[in-house]
Every structure is written in C-alpha cells, then in structure tokens.
Amino acid sequence: MRDELPALMSRRSLFSMIGKTAGIAVMYEAMATMAYAADSTFRQPIALTGAPKGSSVLILGAGLAGMVAAYELGKAGYKVQILEYQGRPGGRNWSLYGGDTYTELGGFKQNIEFDKGLYLNPGPWRIPHHHKAILHYCQLLGVQLEPFIQINYAAYVHSTKAFGGKPQRYRSVEADFDGYVAELLAKTVQQDKLDRPVTKEDREILLQALRGWGALDKNYAYVKSEDASNRRGFDHPPGGGLDAMPTPTDPVSLEDMIRGRLWRSIGSSKAYDVQQTMFQPVGGMGMIGKAFGKELGEIIRYNAKVTEIRQDKRGVTATFVDTLKGGAPQTAHADWCVCTIPASVLSQIPINVGAPMKAAIDALPYAASAKVGLQMKRRFWEEDEGIYGGITYTDQPNSMISYPSTDFFKRGKGVLLGAYTFGPNAVEFTAMPPEERIAKAVEYGANIHPQYREEFETGATVAWHRVPWTLGCAGSWTEETRAAHYNDICAIDGRIVMAGEHVSMIPAWQEGAVLSSLDAIGRLHKRIVQG
C-alpha cells in the first residue's frame, strides 16, 4: 500500500496535517525540528552619544522600563529624574516576603506571614532563555539567577471531568497523547491521504520517526508496551536482582484522552516563550528591581503620585503629590519625558498629547489576573510525590499549581503558587476578598493534593485589577486595537514618548518593557540630537 502513495508531499501540507491532527504545539515541534522556527534576536543597548549638554529627561514610573531609560540616558549624559508612585523600585517586578504589608483597592490589607526566605512573585516569575535584554541587565547589575523549572513530567494534569477527578501524571498524559497522534498520522501516511510531493523515502523516514516519537509497535499501533511505559511510567519500574522485571502500565484510552481534554495542558510548555531553559532571580523576582533601584539611588523620587502631565515648546511638567507626607501638589520639569505609567492609570490622568496618542491610551484595556501563594508546613510535593519544581495544570478556577524551583530536599516549609488565573476565573478571584481567594486556592488544591488540608499554614494573594498603581495585569491588545492604535502609542508626541510592556509586541513580559524602553530612548535621543 505504501508503494502506491504519491511520490511527494509539500512541507506546508505536512505541517497543516500535523496541526489539525495534534494541535499547534505538535505542529510547532515539527517546524522546530525542520529548522522552520526562528530564534529571537536582541541587540545590546544602543550607544547614545552626542547628548546636548544640560539636556534633561523626566521619567514617569520606576518599573523596569523607566529604570532602563534612566540608566541608559544618565550614562549618555542626560540629567534624569524618576517620579515613582510607590515606596520601592521595580513596578510589577515585585516579591512579597514575610513582614511585608500590602493594601489593595477596597482597603483590604494583608500582613504577609511567610517564613524567612519564602516569598510570592505576584507579577513576573520566570525569564525565558531568549529574553536577552532582561538577562543583560541582570548580568550588568549582578543579579544572581537560578533555573526555573517550567515543565516537570512528574507533576500533574487534572480535569474534574475525567478519570473521576483523579489527577494524572503529566508524563502519562503526554506519552498517551503523543502515542495516539503518532498512530493516527502513521495510518494517514499508509492510507494514501497525503498531497504531493513527499517521496517514498521521505515517507519511510516519517514512519520511522512517528514510531520513535509515539513509542508505537511494529504495526504502528500505540499499545501497552515497555517502550510506551518508558515514557508514561511503569506499574513496577525496572529494578535489580529478583525485583528487576518491570510491569508496563495501561495507556488511557484515546476516547478518554479526547473527552478529558487533558491535551490542552500538555502542549503549554512547548510554546516558544516558556521553553526551557528558564531562569529566576535567587531570592525572588523583585531582586531585579531592588538592584536597579540601588544603582539609580537618588535619581528616583518615591511616593510621588503623578496627577497631571503638561507639555509645551519648552519642556514637560508633571504635577504630583507625596503619598506619605501629603501637602500641596508639587511639580517636576524637564526638557523631555519618558512616560511608563500603565495606560490603565494614564487614561485617568490629564495629559495634553495629540488626539491619536490620547485615543491609543484610552483604547487599551488591561487583562485580569490573580495569584495566590500558599505556605505549607512541609514540602510534601517533594517528600510524598517526588515533584521537584514544575507546574500542575487543572481545569479548576485556580488554573495551576507551581512548585518552587529552589531549596530542593530542604526540610521545613515551602511556598506553592496555589493559583495563577486569567480571564473569567481571574475576574471571579478579583471579586473576592483576599482571605476568600486563599481559602478557594486551598480548596481547589486539595482535590489534587489532599495534603493541603493538613499542611496549609498561611497565604498571600494579589489580584491585579485591585492594584492601585496598575489597575490590571498587562496591556491587552487585540489585532484590531493594534492595527488602529499601536503605532500611535509608540510615536513621539511633542516632547513625550511612551514605554513599557504595553508598548511592545510581547506584553506582560519584562522583556517587552525593556525592549520598549530601549527603542523609545533611542528614537528620543535621535530627535533631541537632530534638533
């Protein structure tokens, strides 16, 4: 039958077939294997030379975008000053430690009671290996990094609608899914379903690849076998001596696999922005913001809430109030301005920019997101279940559980990321008071780890629409709003230029904020030098 197949097949058709059969994650994997997936690039920070003597730049916001701008412009000779709403640097680059307090909109105050050395990253929590801009500044500032474990085959995939609500090991679900998809593709290759042009030799190579990828038997079927169990795990693993013989496991049926929808989770770590290797700062993501703040020192004026931004032919003036001392409004002035205030907040501040820029600011909503950190009395996920780092995915409203990627084998307590939600689930979490969010995360987590009920000790939570200085997690562009407004929000409007994750093609990532800042100050410097 194979000899009767068409001689050739287009690669586009092959990728399309794999995509339709196995989903985008598998299609991307095939593209990467054949060198069709492009790598990202980053040019080192631009050398800003020739700055006019005495020129000044006012920067609004001491998040990563603002601090990158201040560092590079200051190095180039500009007089720079940052106004920052909070009493600390970093913006969404933030970690909550024991002893911290945090008050969200509605007046809900949390006293963080984590043990020393334990923390929650409410915002960014991982850095991809190809986010070279943020990694550059970590190296520059001496921020120590360690691996962040994104994918762990010993973690779980959980559906309330499948397998009686019992969580399944990630490795078993992925092995079964890959096996059945490989079997279906092998059948397709053998049944004359392909377009031209794939050669006979290519077909044979593809079949061999599918057999190896999916652990198929000699008939290209995915069945109970030692090869399959080498992927999904054994009932009794290979041992030594008289206890040596392994016992293979039974794969989940294809029907249960499809109906349970567990395949939605197993492809998540194949996406380009979360592929290994990933990193995290030792001691919490907020270490980056702290290092930047130390580097910039008195350039940053803290507790300065901007209430108005005005520009004219002579410069830019920001009116602000001191959130600690109160008193009359004050002003800061400079020749130029880099504004990194999130559009969700900036849309409520009077600012005299042109109609296109103002429309862009007003048109950008911010995504809902919530996180819950749970301190446990012991690291039961390691001691009881052999899970060291990684993520468990669930269809419950808490969405996922992330296990710490540090302090392995350490006796004592640990903090799990017990919930990380987006969309409707995040809106629901945001509507709850903090103590209820924490209780819900414990309730949902106990359906996967019954140990929660005995081991939970204390928690902390941040729902980003209740954070007064961002009013949301990240800029939420659509294709339509980008087409209508993205170029306008990037433009230099008079003496003001915008920067931040929302002024990038990778919103919600720190890399977007840094690259946006470098682009903005490069263009602003050129405008200044050219007069």
The domain defined by 97-154+277-285+367-466 folds into Polyamine Oxidase; Chain A, domain 2 (3.90.660)
Phi, psi for 353 (deg, rounded to 5): -115, 170
What Cα–Cα distance (Å) separates residue 58 from each residue in 61, 109, 137, 175, 523?
10, 32, 21, 55, 16
Amino acid at 264: R
What element of type H or E holds 82? strand 79-83
Q: Is the sign of the CA dihedral 213, 218, 222, 226 positive or negative?
A: negative
Full-model pTM: 0.86
| Cα angle, residue 295 at apex, residues 294 and 297 outer, rounded to 5° | 65
In CATH terms, the fold of domain 2-38+170-257 is de novo design (two linked rop proteins) (1.20.1440)
Q: Where in the chain is the domain with CATH 3.50.50.60?
A: 56-86+302-364+477-530
Check residue 234 and give its pLDDT: 81
Domain 56-86+302-364+477-530 in CATH 1.20.1370.20: no
| Separation CA 359–CA 394 (nearest Å) | 39
For residues 453-487, one letter each, b for 16 or more C-beta atoms within 10 angstroms of the residue's C-beta and e for the rest, the string is eebbebbbbbbbbbbebbbbbbbbbeeebeeebbe
Q: What is the pLDDT of residue 197?
A: 56
Rounded distance between C-alpha atoms, residue 158 and residue 173, angstroms? 10
Q: From CA 347, how far away is CA 344, in angstroms rounded?
A: 6
> Residue 75: what pLDDT?
95
> So what's the pLDDT on residue 78?
97
Interaxial angle between packed helices 11-22 and 24-33, expressed in degrees from 0 to 180 and rounded to the nearest 10: 150
Instruction: Tell me which residues of the chain have a pLDDT lower than 50.
Output: 1-12, 14-15, 17-41
- Summarised one tens digit per residue, pLDDT across range 457-499 is 999 999 999 999 999 999 999 999 999 999 999 999 999 999 9
Cα–Cα distance measured from residue 394 to residue 246, given in angstroms and rounded to the nearest whole number: 30
Residue ranges of the chain assigned to CATH 1.20.1440.240? 2-38+170-257
Domain with CATH 3.90.660.10 in the chain: 97-154+277-285+367-466
